[in-house]
Amino acid sequence: MAIEIHKIKVRAALRPRAEPYWAAPLGLNQSLGFRKIDTERGSWVARVKQGGRSRYKALGPSTDTFGFTEARAAAIKWFTDLDRGISTDATTVSAACKLYVEDREREKGKACAHDAKMRFERTVYGKALGDRPLDRVRAPHIKAWRDGLEMAQASANRTLTALKAALNFAVTKRLVSAAAAQEWAEVKPYKGAGKRRDLFLDLKQRRALLAASEGALKDLIQAAMLTGARAGELVNATRSQFAPRTQSMTFKGNTGTRTVPLSAAALELFERLADSKLPLANLFLRDDGKPWAHSDWDELVRAAAERAELPKGTCLYTLRH
């Protein structure tokens, strides 16, 4: 029997029970219900019957701002999404990001996926935003997440871009309604964050950073200090690019190829790294013996910079200045 749950007095008089009280159908096999939790609390539930079975959707607690009218609109939206083939599973932001990383690896390769994976591991997985269901993500949630990132604004912008790409991918896979995309579309990158970096570390600060590092990270930082090479040029360098006879190193990167002379300190470092390696072997390896992947060093450098009490925003690229 249909209950007039649209009336506040009727809801207040209902007896608490696990089974919701159902209103008149909103459509064919579509219903909105009110679950009376106790004398003070209640929540809204939607139900649809498909293929001989019932599916339910918890819409949220009944409040002054989420009453019958709002619950009815939420229920209709859910019914519409189901008709469009949009998943109603409680897919979280973290789950969407992982699916995006898997897709990037299949379509673009591991190098492309690795950057997104590292960003999400630092900023999404295990965080409040990461645990939030996709259909409950709102612009204020993303703004609070963006503003809470402990990184330079330029890096925060790149991380925001990666997150938006993952959420948009979820839309294309029908994990959430296209209407939800408006929420993250409203969150804009920081303005002026892409301007030229002006952070410079003096000799004392550079020595402090080196002292706060060890192992493979220390080798990478020292090489950046002694050559001014970009991180990618260093981690992709092979033994054959080092010429001990001419005391020089050839770097290859997005800007082309260049050969630079090495100082005595740099020569000593590269000779040690090149010892016993084959021509095509990487000069720089992580502590586990594997090649460095894109952005592997970001968090390690950030942690070393904190130990050395260096300015916020210090990264490996800072050493080129």
- Tell me, what's the pLDDT at 161? 94
CA-to-CA separations, 287 to 102, 154, 284, in angstroms, rounded:
26, 29, 10
Grouped pLDDT means (10 residues each) for the chain, 321 residues: 91 94 92 94 92 86 94 88 67 91 85 83 93 90 92 87 93 83 91 70 94 96 94 93 95 86 95 95 94 85 94 87 77
Give the SS3 label for residue 89.
coil
Give the SS3 label for residue 34.
strand
Do 122 and 163 contact (CB within 8 A), yes or no? no
Phi and psi dihedrals of 27, rounded to 5? -170, -175
Task: Tell me how far apart the alpha carbons of residues 71 and 61 are, in angstroms, rounded to a whole number.
Answer: 9
Judged on CB neighbours under 10 Å (0-12, 13-18, 19+), 150 is exposed
- Tell me, what's the pLDDT at 276? 92
Phi and psi dihedrals of 133, rounded to 5? -60, 145
**What global pTM score does this model have?**
0.54
- Tell me, what's the pLDDT at 195? 55
Bridge partners, residue 61, by sequence: 43
- Tell me, what's the pLDDT at 113? 83
Q: 313: phi > 0 → left, psi -120 to 50 → alpha, else beta; which?
A: left
Angle at 27 between CA 26 and CA 28, to 5 degrees: 140
Give the SS3 label for residue 294.
coil
Give the SS3 label for residue 186.
coil
Q: Which of 75, 307, 145, 298 is nearest to 210 (CA)?
A: 307
Kindly give the residue spans of alpha helices, DSSP state H, lying in the chain: 8-13, 68-83, 93-108, 110-123, 128-131, 139-147, 153-172, 181-185, 203-211, 215-227, 231-235, 264-274, 298-307
Judged on CB neighbours under 10 Å (0-12, 13-18, 19+), 12 is exposed
Do 228 and 320 contact (CB within 8 A), yes or no? yes
242-243 and 248-253: which strand pairing? Answer: antiparallel
